[in-house]
Chains A and B, each alone.
Chain A
Amino acid sequence: MGLAPSRAILGGTVLGITESIAAGFISSAYKDVIAFVVMILVLLIRPQGLLGRAP
């Protein structure tokens, strides 16, 4: 659990950068949709989180 803060930093960075890239390249109106899609994909593919270990 010692890594927990760095994981939160990683998560926030990934989400923020994806949202900005999506806003710039795809559509600013749909940037929230992209962020939600990323969240849904992470939950589906790695429900334990990007750096988390499988239970």
Chain B
Amino acid sequence: MNRTLPLLLWLLALIGLAMLPQLLTVKYYLHLSILALIWVIVAQGQNLIQGFTGYVSIVQAGFMGIGAYASTLIGLNFQWPLWATMTLAPVVTALFALATGYPSLRVKGHYFAIVTLAFNLIIVIVLVNYSELTKGEAGISNIPKPWRGDRESFFYLALTLAALLTLLAALIARSRVGEILLAIRQNEDLVAAVGIAAWKYKLFAFVISAMYAGLGGALYAHFQGFINPEIFGVAQSLDAILAVILGGSGTIAGPVIGAFLVVFLPEILRFADSFRLILYGLILVLATIFMPIGIVGIAKTAFARITGRGARHGG
């Protein structure tokens, strides 16, 4: 596969997304598109640790919550401007990720998933019970919005950030660090055997993925104007994992497609009324069983079969 075709597709997708506010007549779809763009950021982060490094972390929504609460609380308590709190949110999240990542990355496979799951549960419990600061279950409302809460401008803010962070993820994946992360996924013992300190790279991937989630969470808080602990529960972490698996883990386009699916699929299924979530779950189960390589993986294999050339790995 040559390099110009993917680039062209990316450019087309970006132009298409940039025109979206003009094309969508229903405000609600614009609202969903913004949510999807926020999920693109979260899923790109999840992909770094899950897709490239091969460690399935179930704490992505918990880190979103830390970012969201950090940005909101700093803004409300210290009257910091919005851009400052939103830049600080990933930094705060990174500190938490350092503290939780160092111990959890000492265990592998299922144990890593369980430890991160426990961290997500802890984050939610603390957010609920530390109500002097977080206002507990009731949540925080009236969170300031950028530019008077205008949806179109927020869409472009989210689009810019999602595009830049996707580019950053692509750069990381193509760099030497990205190659080492892929090597860790394939054979961690071998990586250690050739003298590379695998834990440093794993921690790097974990912290960066948390920073993506933190920024996504901060964006979410300032977009919705309301947050409570429930939004950042394990169910949302599983959505992030599903977005990566559905789109295609270990690819750059995968999380983008997956994020839009995870946000739009439950809405498209509204025709099914009360069977909506059952149908949604069924589709997810079937998709995970029958296409574990994701949509991007299938598209790549199909493309390679048509052109008669071998599919390139990664990218």
- What residues of chain A have their CB less than 8 Å away from a CB belonging to chain B? 27, 29-30, 32-33, 36-37, 39-40, 43-44, 47
Q: B104-128 vs A: 1/0 string, CB under 8 Å?
A: 1011000100110011011001100
Asked if B115 and A29 make an inter-chain contact with CB atoms under 8 angstroms apart, the answer reads no
- Can you list the 4 inter-chain pairs with the closest CB atoms, starting with the nearest? A36-B118, A29-B129, A33-B122, A33-B125
A44/B125 in contact, CB under 8 A: no
State the Cβ distance, A11 to closest chain B Cβ, in Å: 14
| Chain A residues within 8 Å of B129, by CB | 27, 29-30
Q: How far is the CA of A33 from the CA of B130 in the complex (A)?
A: 13
Interface residue ranges, B against A (CB under 8 Å): 103-104, 106-107, 111, 114-115, 118-119, 121-122, 125-126, 129
Nearest-CB residue, chain A, relative to B104: A40
The answer to whether A39 and B118 touch (CB under 8 A), given A29-B129, A30-B129, is yes
The answer to whether A43 and B121 touch across the interface, beta carbons within 8 angstroms, is no
Contacting residue for B114 out of A30, A33, A43, CB 8 A: A43
How many A-B pairs with Cβ below 8 Å?
A: 33
- Alpha-carbon distance between A29 and B137 when the two chains are bound, in angstroms: 13
CA distance in complex: A30, B119 (Å): 13
Chain A neighbourhood of B125, CB < 8 A: 29-30, 32-33
Cα of A32 to Cα of B126 in the assembled complex, Å: 10
The complex places the Cα of A47 from the Cα of B107 at a distance, in Å, of 8
The CA of A7 and the CA of B201, in the complex, are separated in Å by: 36
B126, A33: Cβ atoms closer than 8 Å: yes
- Measured between alpha carbons, how far is A43 from B121 in the docked complex, in Å? 16
Name which of B104, B118, B129 has the most chain A CB atoms within 10 A of its CB. Answer: B118
CB-based contact B118/A40 at 8 Å: yes
Residues of chain B with a CB closer than 8 A to A37's CB: 122
Q: How far is the CA of A29 from the CA of B126 in the complex (A)?
A: 9
In the complex, the answer to whether B107 meets A44 with C-beta atoms within 8 Å is yes
Give Cα distance in the complex from A40 to B126, angstroms: 17
* A52 CB → nearest B CB, Å: 13
Q: Would A40 and B121 be within 8 Å (CB), given that A29-B129, A30-B129, A33-B126 are in contact?
A: no
Q: In the docked arrangement, what's the CA distance between A39 and B126, Å? A: 17
Residues of A near B119 (CB, < 8 A) are: 36, 40
Cα separation A33 to B125 with both chains bound (whole Å): 7
A36 pairs with B103, CB closer than 8 A = no
A29 to B131 CA separation, bound complex (whole angstroms): 11
Given contacts A33-B125, A40-B103, A40-B115, 18 further A-B contacts (CB under 8 A): A27-B129, A29-B125, A30-B125, A30-B126, A32-B121, A33-B122, A33-B126, A36-B121, A36-B122, A37-B122, A40-B104, A40-B118, A40-B119, A43-B111, A43-B114, A44-B107, A44-B115, A47-B111
Which residues of chain B come closer than 8 Å to A30, judged between CB atoms? Answer: 125-126, 129
Residues of chain B with a CB closer than 8 A to A36's CB = 118-119, 121-122
Q: List 29 A-B contacts (CB under 8 A).
A: A27-B129, A29-B125, A29-B129, A30-B125, A30-B126, A30-B129, A32-B121, A32-B125, A33-B122, A33-B125, A33-B126, A36-B118, A36-B119, A36-B121, A36-B122, A39-B118, A40-B103, A40-B104, A40-B115, A40-B118, A40-B119, A43-B111, A43-B115, A44-B103, A44-B106, A44-B107, A44-B115, A47-B107, A47-B111
Closest to B129 in A: A29
* A37 CB to nearest chain B CB (Å): 8
* Minimum C-beta distance from B243 to chain A (A): 25
Bound-state CA distance A16–B19 (Å) is 57
